[in-house]
Structure 1
Amino acid sequence: MVRDGFSGTGVVRDGFSGTGVARDAVSGAGGVVGTVEAGRVAGVGPEASRVGGARRSPGRRGAADPVKALMHRHRELCQRAVDPLEIAAGLEAHGVTDRTAARFRHRDVFSLAEEMYARVARDGEPTPPPAEAGPPGRSARWAVLALLPGALCAAAVSGLRLTDGQPRLAVAAAGALAVALGLRAALRHGPLSAPNRTTTSIRTSTCWLLAYALLGDGLLSAGLDGGPDGFWPPATASVLALALACAPAAWCARLFAVRARRRLTASRGLEEFAASVQPLVFGVFGLFLCAMAALLALCGAALGEPAAYAGAGSLGALLLLARLLTVHGFGHAPAVVLGAAGVAEGAALATVFAGRLPGCSFLATPVETLVAAWGPGAVPAVVCGTAALVLLIHATRTLTRASAHATTSGATP
């Protein structure tokens, strides 16, 4: 480390990393202060700098430029960014805050990102062109795909009600396959498409939760009554409502992505952006819950079944939050929470049947008490409702970050 005093104005520190040189200095004449923390964010350590084992001489030190050092460390981010907002989001993801930006003589991360973006173009470094708008029919395509799972599920339910015996089993198998393919198409295009492939754990947990929504309540009731004796009726109204809810989920995801992107453009600080997006998270979530309740009421009336508002509604809310987080690059928490919810529902069923073993009746007591008070739908309501609350709290902390909205599929036209 080389330290030179300039008339008591401060200390200059230079350091070398494996990728380049970051310089930070104190100028007594101009009053420009480059701090150690700015150098640390730019990748500069306080260790002594040597080239070939020789200490640098004071005469070879150039003008201090900590912003250039920061650009050098985040060179790939600066080169691929199509606007300053992506640089701001990337800096925030790497731990740069508004307070840190002040060390670079900028009022916030957005101002620092604007300088970095402008300097990339000024220095002649290649900058990717802005993304072109999609074809006119792109929005119509994902909107149609979002309706596909509900349409296929409605066709499958109609087939089940018109058939019996072996043909009914064939229709059920074909319908399940068709709905799965339709759901896959809806999740691979448009606002619900994730930047990375959905993990196997998320797919497995989602399939189990949907299967429980279709058959779980009937099996639980039959198990508590000493059965099951034969096949129990499936909750087709709940599953049909969940399939139809794919469309409002897509529109809610798009609404959230577009509005959040606009607020990111208008915000001048990370805290300001987080404060403006948090009500948007709750607003979109509440809007989906209203749509889910309406679909449950509609499907229950059309099929002549009681609407499972608590159980299916909480599952729909859980799946929406999990998908929103996954779309914006936060897939770990949804995988854990969905897996925990699936295990909890499986454990509830297992305890009911395990309670029949000699001396193990106490295992079924919690589930029996809950079902006696609120019905079999209370189990998925409690499990999925608790899981949705956990993800909602997590979403208010993660989806309010600028880095969550750097590039999202939901913002596509």
Structure 2
Amino acid sequence: MNDLGELNRSTPTGSADPVKALLHHHRDLCERAVDPLEIAAGLEAHGITDRTAARFRHRDVFSLAEELYARVPRDDAPPPPAPAATSPGARADWTVLTLLPGALCVATVTALRLTHGQTRLYVAATGILAVTLALRAALRRGPLSTRTDIPSRSAAATWTCWLLGYALLGDGLLGTAVTGGPDGPPDGTAEGDWPLTVAPVVALALSCAPAAWTARLFTARVRRRLASSRGLKDFSASVRPVLIGVFALFLGAVAVLLTVTSTLLGEPLALPSTLALGGLLFLARLLTIHGFTHAPRVILTITATAQATALATLFAARLPGCDALAVPVQTLTGTWSPAALPTLTCGVAALTLLIHASRRLARASAHISPERPR
């Protein structure tokens, strides 16, 4: 908006060629752009809207961008070759990488069921490390990779690990804590004093591949909408149904995977909590892919903190005179079940991110200028 204000002061009212002043102000953008769409997104990022475009004698920002693109001198050099990421070999690479976390998670669970005692401990540690490395690799290549410089050791990654850990251990700990337990550490089974829920974690690990394909589908559909739109409002209105569609498609894939894994592992179907967590993580990654990192980091932090606080109140209530601290969590779990806590926290967080994404990802600049910090 500061750029727009400077432009307003520098453009005389009634100028014979107002576009010339705009071209001078944004010459770097116009010279770097590979097509008019990139200029339109850049103008939008600087606060120029369809209404502002009327001051430059154009019906919308896209029409204005086409004139700016045409006015910049260009040589007749052939277009650059397609990026390596679009080649069949690169596509096969990221496809394999997105399948790897789920495959390793299934292998780890299988090995845990075939081992006992200290060997099971080694298998669990090795499996967790392998799945973590595979997931990290999957997030660095292909549709799930970011297009901005984001530190690898971020708060979002830390809280994501907490949420996945809670999906594995949280419900069991919460259920035993309400009744005065646990009396010991988890033994790696669903029947122990501190039971594990493995099926949701396996389903989410397997959902890495559907997440990549739906993210790729979203990007492709939005780019086509961007090419066919004739105004920023028209583009924004066309993006939101696409976002809702790919989000629902991903949740459907998670539901199928969870049903299969729960059946094979003989565990209850924890559908609401798993869908809430899966939707939250998918939306957080989708926003991060397009450079919007602040909201996912804040929402993930709040969600994980809420879950940790709920567990802490149960144990703090065991101190003399602190019984009242456990009442909210005991009421929630007594009315529904221990799964109500992750369903509520992750569901509210996912809904918040969905609303945020429907606003941020509906901007043309979110799909053309990935290098711009947000």
What is the TM-score normalised by the length of structure 2?
Answer: 0.90
| 1:304-356 deviation per Cα after TM superposition (whole angstroms, max 9, x unaligned) | 11121111210000000001111111111001001100100000100111111
| Alignment partners' CA distance in 2, 1:127 and 1:346 | 58
Q: Which amino acid aligns with 1:95?
A: G
Provide the alpha-carbon RMSD of the alignment.
2.2
1:168 and 2:120 correspond? yes
Q: Give me the whole-angstrom Cα distance separating, in 2, the residues matched to 1:40 and 1:154.
A: 54
Residue in structure 1 matched with residue 190 of structure 2 by the alignment: none
Alignment equivalent of 2:310, drawn from 348, 352, 364: 348
The higher relative CO (CA closer than 8 Å, separation ≥ 6) is in 2
Matches within 5 A, 1:279-358: 279-358=241-320
Distance 1:67 1:274, change over 3 A: same
Cα distance in 1 for partners of 2:203, 2:30 equals: 45
1:242 partnered with 2:192: no
The answer as to 2:126 corresponding to 1:178 is no
Counterpart of 1:259 in structure 2 is 221
1:77-96 map, 5 Å: 77-96=29-48
| CA separation of 1:245 and 1:210: change in aligned 2, threshold 3 A | same
Q: Map 1:91-102 to 2 at 5 A.
A: 91-102=43-54
One-letter identity of the residue aligned with 2:169 = L
What is residue 82 of structure 2 aligned with on the other side? 132
The alpha-carbon distance between structure 1 residues 159 and 268, as it changes in their structure 2 partners (threshold 3 A), is same
Q: Answer with 216-225 or 131-140: which moved more.
A: 131-140
Matched letter for residue 178 of structure 2: L
State which of 377, 382, 386 in structure 1 corresponds to 2:344.
382
Structure 2: how far apart are the matches of 1:47 and 1:258?
37
* 2:97 equivalent in structure 1: 145
What letter corresponds to residue 161 of structure 2 in structure 1?
Answer: C
Q: How many residues align?
A: 356
Does the 8 Å CA contact 2:60/2:231 hold for their aligned counterparts?
Answer: yes
Summarize deviations over 1:257-294 as a string: whole Å, max 9, x none: 00000000000000001111111111111111111111
Q: 1:47: how far off? A: 11
Structure 2 residue 9 is matched with structure 1 residue 45: yes
Matches of 2:48 and 2:310, distance apart in 1: 45
- Report which stretch shifted further, 157-166 or 95-104: 157-166
Q: What is the alpha-carbon distance in structure 2 between the residues aligned to residue 388 and residue 128 of structure 1?
A: 45
Residues 40, 154 of structure 1: CA spacing in aligned structure 2 closer, same or farther, 3 A cutoff? closer
Deviation (angstroms), 1:222: 1.4
**Aligned-pair distance for 1:45?**
2.3
Task: Specify the code of the residue in structure 2 equivalent to 1:210.
Answer: L
Larger radius of gyration: 1
| Alpha-carbon separation, structure 1, partners of 2:248 and 2:50 | 31
Compute the TM-score of the two structures, normalised by the length of structure 1: 0.82
How many Å separate the matches in 1 of 2:11 and 2:254?
59
State how far apart, in whole Å, the 1-side matches of 2:9 and 2:254 are. Answer: 54
**Could you tell me how far apart the structure 2 residues matched to 1:342 and 1:314 are?**
13
Pair 324,40 (structure 1): closer, same or farther in 2 beyond 3 Å: closer
* AA of the residue aligned to 1:172: A
Q: Does 1:371 align with 2:323?
A: no
Alignment of 1:202-221 (within 5 A): 202-221=156-175
SS in 1 for 2:362: coil
Equivalents in 1 of 2:161, 2:89: separation in Å?
A: 31
Q: Distance in 2 between matches of 1:271 and 1:109?
A: 10
**Alpha-carbon separation, structure 2, partners of 1:46 and 1:177:** 58
1:278 aligns to 2:225 (yes or no): no
Greater share of residues in helix:
2
Structure 1 residues 214-243: Cα deviation after superposition (integer angstroms, max 9, x where no partner): 111111111111111122222111100010
CA distance in 1, matches of 2:118, 2:22: 68
Deviates more, 1:391-400 or 1:74-83: 74-83
Structure 2 contact 42–369 (Cα < 8 Å) conserved: no
Q: Partners of 2:328 and 2:366 in 1: how far apart? A: 40
The sequence identity of aligned pairs, in percent, is 62
Change (3 A) 1:164 1:40: closer
Residue 41 of structure 2 contacts residue 369 of structure 2 at CA under 8 Å; is this kept in 1? Answer: no
Identify unmatched segments of 5+ residues in structure 2.
Answer: 187-193
Contact 2:240 2:358 in 1 (8 A): yes
| Separation in 2, partners of 1:75, 1:320 | 37
Per the TM alignment, residue 408 of structure 1 is displaced from its structure 2 partner at its CA by 6.3
Structure 1 residue runs without a partner (length 5+): 1-36, 49-62
Q: Report the Cα offset of residue 131 of structure 1.
A: 5.5
Matched, 1:361 2:336: no
